[in-house]
């Protein structure tokens, strides 16, 4: 089945209500252009560095404004709407970086909690400790949809190829990578990582991104992308500001790419043997 997929680029602020309104406007724009699968970026509902400030606006899943608006939009527009992620308050005081997929009936199909936490110190002085506030997920997930099998990842997950390989081997033909990449890491690695994950797994990648100078002072890279299984960029947004990008997806192209380069089938188990030169306490190889 061939269908239109859309990636929504946003520059979310600290107010969930305002962000929900922006999401709704852009989703409607994508639906008017014929997209039936629409993805929003990581942290659609709020980007807020101040953890106390973020917690003050958090709701649980049933009370979250973005979640409720997304369910309504999916039902009203008859689309598959994927909130790439939004922060959800948990009972233990932690936060879930959680994505949601809603069907054309407005009901939730599934959710996905970001597995890998961005705990890094960058050369420009930026320091991130997601694990201090967020509870990591532990379950990878595939949604078997009428137009193809959709796998889930969020932002930093893209640096862990085993997550993508696991889902590709299980049948995923499309991978979602909503993100809020920093400008520094985005300039270095965003496109090459997305294209590599598409190529090595023979699947489409849809990556809706945050882009621009945010209300809390954060700078994100933008460049939302849709990439085919041969690594070609089918659609790309600019570096900042709102955007709707759309591409035609035919999942048969994923199977064709895997037929041309059957690396998923050719993979073999192996053992790792570490050796040292003779005379340094090891044995000769």
Summarised one tens digit per residue, pLDDT across range 101-115 is 999 999 999 999 999
d(CA 239, CA 243): 10
Q: Is the pLDDT of residue 53 over 80?
A: yes
d(CA 224, CA 240): 10
Q: Is the pLDDT of residue 237 over 70?
A: yes
d(CA 244, CA 8): 5
- Whether pTM exceeds 0.85: yes
pLDDT in tens, 62-104: 999 999 999 999 999 999 999 999 999 998 889 999 999 999 9
For all residues of the chain together, what is the average pLDDT?
A: 94
Is residue 42 part of the annotated active site? The answer reads: yes
Do 9 and 209 form a contact (C-beta atoms < 8 A)? yes
Active-site residue (options: 11, 69, 130, 155): 155
Do 234 and 227 form a contact (C-beta atoms < 8 A)? yes
Q: Is the pLDDT of residue 283 over 60?
A: no
Residue 285's pLDDT is what?
A: 47
Length of the chain: 285
Neighbours of 139 (CB within 10 A): 10
CATH superfamily placement of domain 2-265: Carbon-nitrogen hydrolase (3.60.110.10)
Q: Which letter does DSSP use for residue 134 in this model?
A: B
Active-site residue (options: 42, 69, 173, 236): 42
Is residue 155 part of the annotated active site? The answer reads: yes
Active-site residue (options: 11, 69, 114, 236): 114
**Pick from 174, 184, 181: nearest CA to 226:** 174
Domain boundaries, the chain: 2-265
């Amino acid at each position: 089945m061939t269908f239109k997929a859309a990636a929504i680029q946003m520059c979310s602020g600290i107010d969930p209500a305002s962000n929900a309104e922006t999401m709704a406007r852009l989703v409607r724009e994508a639906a008017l252009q014929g997209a039936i699968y629409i993805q929003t970026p990581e942290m659609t509902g709020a980007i807020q560095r101040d953890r106390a400030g973020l917690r003050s606006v958090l709701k649980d899943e049933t009370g979250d404004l973005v979640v409720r608006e997304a369910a309504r939009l999916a039902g009203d527009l008859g689309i598959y709407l994927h909130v790439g992620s939004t922060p959800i308050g948990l009972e233990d005081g932690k936060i879930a970086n959680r994505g949601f997929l809603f069907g054309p009936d407005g009901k939730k199909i599934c959710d996905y909690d970001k597995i890998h936490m961005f705990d890094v110190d960058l050369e420009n002085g930026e320091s991130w400790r997601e694990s201090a506030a967020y509870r990591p997920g532990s379950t990878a997930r595939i949604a078997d949809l009428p137009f193809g099998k959709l796998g889930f990842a969020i932002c930093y997950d893209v640096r862990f190829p085993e997550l993508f390989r696991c889902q590709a081997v299980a049948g995923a033909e499309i991978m979602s990578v909503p993100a809020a990449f920093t400008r520094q890491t985005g300039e270095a690695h965003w496109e090459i990582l997305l294209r590599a994950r598409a190529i090595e797994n023979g699947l489409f990648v849809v990556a809706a991104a945050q882009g621009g100078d945010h209300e809390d002072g954060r700078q994100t890279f933008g460049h939302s992308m849709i990439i085919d299984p041969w690594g070609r960029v089918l659609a790309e947004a600019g570096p900042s500001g709102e955007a709707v990008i759309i591409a035609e997806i035919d999942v048969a192209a994923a199977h064709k790419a895997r037929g041309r380069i059957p690396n998923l089938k050719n993979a073999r188990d192996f053992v790792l043997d570490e050796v040292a030169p003779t005379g340094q306490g090891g044995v000769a190889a």
